[in-house]
Amino acid sequence: MTTSAVHTPRGPVTRKDVARYAGVSTAVVSYVVNGGPKKVAPATEAKVQEAIRILGYRPNAAARALKMGSNQTIGLVIPDSSNPFWALLGHAVEVAAAERGYALLLTNSDNKLDSERRHIRNLAARQVDGVVLASVMFEPDLLELFGAEIPSVLLNHASIAPGFNSVGVDLEAGARLAVEHLIGHGHTNIGLAMGITADNEADGREEGWRRALEAAGLPVGPLARDGFDRPGGYAAGQRLLAADNRPTAIFASSDMQAIGLLRAIREAGLSVPDDIAVASFDGSIEAEYSWPALTTVEQPVWEMAEAAVSALVGENRNEPPRHRVFPTQLRIRQSCGCP
């Protein structure tokens, strides 16, 4: 009997319907849908694919996951997907996962530790194949990940976490690059707009700022702590500009802080870089399109995402846990005083 003589089924299309339409066994349909384990002749595979297309067959993902012991899904927890840096990092993780056949469940902790813990528990309950965590804490609460009993990778993490794969950059070295560049412009009073983590732990960007100044024989400039976001940068900028020893240059610990800082400087009737030079950290797309464009320490987002997903569900998943550190690069633009 030819396929043209077969009527399309009523109701949900099953694998048996596809097999009957293509004139093959259900096992052959399974091999085509799952890509194995047995090879199928190209002509036979073409018939099955044509039957799938005509009948509109959609594999039952839940049943397939139960049979394979995998949901082919990973979870990602980030602080704030409305932040261009986190949005880009989340997109890079999604691409790296898709290249390996995995879907991504994206969650936002909204920079709150309770939300972060809740998302980890929810992802574990969904039996995802692994979790990529960009924690709101400088030193995250690893008990939640241990308790989840699923593979996990710490993303955008600055230090070694025993028993876990982690991926990040050398925050201190990156900050020193930016501050040394400002010193090279002749600035001797360089302030810091520093973000606040949920656990208030010391951040390598602050240490890099201090060490660059000390190495140059310069005093530590004024420091203002606030959120890593635009409002945080705006508030920190207002305090720095009101300081008795108002700095002639400011290093911001994130691009979003720097955007808020630019507004505070303009509202004060000052200009960048003529009155105050600015440099920041992250390398988000917003830094390139601000005015003036921001000199920023760029993190290699795509390389970091690739390393995290590879350690979780890719070619490196069976290797012993390790901390991967990627180099940063200083993107020089106009906010520092360069032409």
pLDDT digits (tens, 9 = 90+) for 257-289: 999 999 999 999 999 999 999 999 999 999 999
| H or E element that contains 131 | strand 130-133
Q: Does 175 score more than 90 pLDDT?
A: yes
Model pLDDT, residue 66 = 45
Q: Does 4 score more than 50 pLDDT?
A: no
Q: What percent of the chain has a predicted confidence (pLDDT) above 70?
A: 91
Question: Residue 300's CB: how many other CB atoms inside 10 A?
Answer: 16
Q: Does 23 score more than 80 pLDDT?
A: yes
Residue 230 is given by DSSP the state H
Q: How confident is the model at residue 3 (pLDDT cuts 50, 70, 90)?
A: very low
* pLDDT tens string 108-150: 999 888 898 889 888 888 888 899 999 888 777 677 777 777 8
Dist. CA 34–CA 26, nearest whole Å: 12
Model pLDDT, residue 273 = 97
Q: How confident is the model at residue 13 (pLDDT cuts 50, 70, 90)?
A: confident
Q: How confident is the model at residue 35 (pLDDT cuts 50, 70, 90)?
A: low
**Cα torsion 79, 84, 87, 88: sign:** negative
Model pLDDT, residue 9 = 56
Assess contact for 52 and 31: CB atoms under 8 A.
Answer: no
Dist. CA 243–CA 271, nearest whole Å: 17
DSSP code per residue over 266-313? HHTT--TTTT-EEEEEE--HHHHHSSSPPEEEE--HHHHHHHHHHHHH
Assess contact for 144 and 121: CB atoms under 8 A.
Answer: yes
